[in-house]
Amino acid sequence: MKEFKKIFKKVNGIEILKQYCMAHVILFSLLETAILGLSRKSLEIVRLAVDNRIYCKLKKKYKGFISEYQQKEDTKNILHEHVDIVWVCWFQGMEHAPKMVQYCFESLKSNLRDKRIILITEDNYKEYVQFPTYILEKYEKGCFSKTHLSDLLRLELLIKYGGTWIDATVWCSSPIYPDYLFDSDLFMFQNLKPGLDGQCTAVSSWFITSCSNNQMLMLERALLYEYWKENTKIVHYYLFHMFFQMVIEAYPDEWNKVVPFSNATPHILLLRLFEEYDETIANAVKEMTSFHKLTYKFEESDTTIKNTFYQVLFGEQE
C-alpha cells in the first residue's frame, strides 16, 4: 500500500481519476485493479488497458471525421518548405525558468549553432501564430493547461513555417547528430517493437521536425481542433499522441517514410539522473544520441547528492 500511495502521488493520481471519470472508464479501471493488484507492474498493465480503452472510444468517435477530412483534402499547390529554425517554448520566459530548463536551452544554443533558435513565450506567441477564437477562449477559461496549449502551438508553428520543435526540457550533449533529425519532411522519436506491443500510441511529441504544411500534422491539428469544438475538458493527458496514432493509420505510406528511432534511448539519462555517475555509461549514452529528454520536476534535495549524473553533468553550472 505504501508503494501504491507513492506512485499515486507521483503520477498525480487525482487528476488521472478525474480523466477516467470523464472518459467513462473509471469502473473498468477499478475492476482491472481489483483483478491485477496494486504492485507497480500491475498498475502499469492497468494503465495500458485503460489507455487502450480510451483510444478505442476516441477512434470510434472520430473515424467518420477522418474519412470526411481525407475526402475533402486538397494537396495540390501546397508549398512544403524546410527551414533551419528550432522552436522552443517556455511561456513564462527563460529568465523565470527552472535551472534545468535553462541548462537545456543553453545546450541547444551551444550545439546547434547553424540553427536559428526562437524562444516562444506567453508574450510573443501571437506574433507567430493565430489560434481559432474558441481555442483561445477555452484556454483562458482554464479548460486546458499551458502544456496542452504547447501541443497546439507546436502544430501551428510547424505547419506554418516548418522547422524543429524541441521541448524546453531536452538537453543537447553534442553538435554531432544525424542530418535526418532536422532535414526530414517528418521526424518524431517512436515506440518501436517489441516495446510497442501493448501500447496504443507510437510517438513522442517532444522533438518534431517537419516541412511546412505537412500532411500528417495538418490532420492532427484538425482532429484536436474538432475535439475542442465539442469539449471543455481534456479526456487524456496524451490526447495528442492518441490522435496521432489515428493519423498514422490514416497515412500509413507517409508514416513508413519516417526514419525509425527509438524514444527509449533519449530517456536513459533521465532514469539515471540521480544515480551514481558512471563515465562509461554516460559516454555510451551520449554516443547513442545527442538529445536527451529530461525533467525539471524533482526534489531540490536530490541535486545536492554527490557524484550523481546530475551533479557531474550539471552541478558545475550552478
| pLDDT tens profile 12-35 | 556 666 666 666 666 666 666 666
Q: What count of residues does the chain have? A: 318
Which amino acid, one-letter code, is at 72? K
Cβ 250 vs Cβ 70: under 8 Å? yes
Nearest 5°: the CA angle 264, 270, 273 is 145
Domain segments of the chain: what residues? 2-72, 85-255
pLDDT tens profile 47-91 = 777 788 899 999 999 999 999 999 998 877 788 999 999 999 999
Strand partners, 163: 210
pLDDT at residue 51, rounded to an integer: 83
pLDDT tens profile 87-125 = 999 999 999 999 999 999 999 999 999 999 999 999 999
Fold (topology level) of 85-255: Spore Coat Polysaccharide Biosynthesis Protein SpsA; Chain A (3.90.550)
**Helical segments of the chain, H only:** 2-10, 13-22, 26-36, 40-72, 99-111, 133-140, 146-160, 180-183, 215-230, 239-250, 252-255, 268-271, 279-288, 309-314
Across the range 170-179, mean pLDDT stands at 98
- Starting at the edge strand found earlier in the chain, the sheet holding 85-89 runs 116-120, 85-89, 163-166, 203-210, 186-190
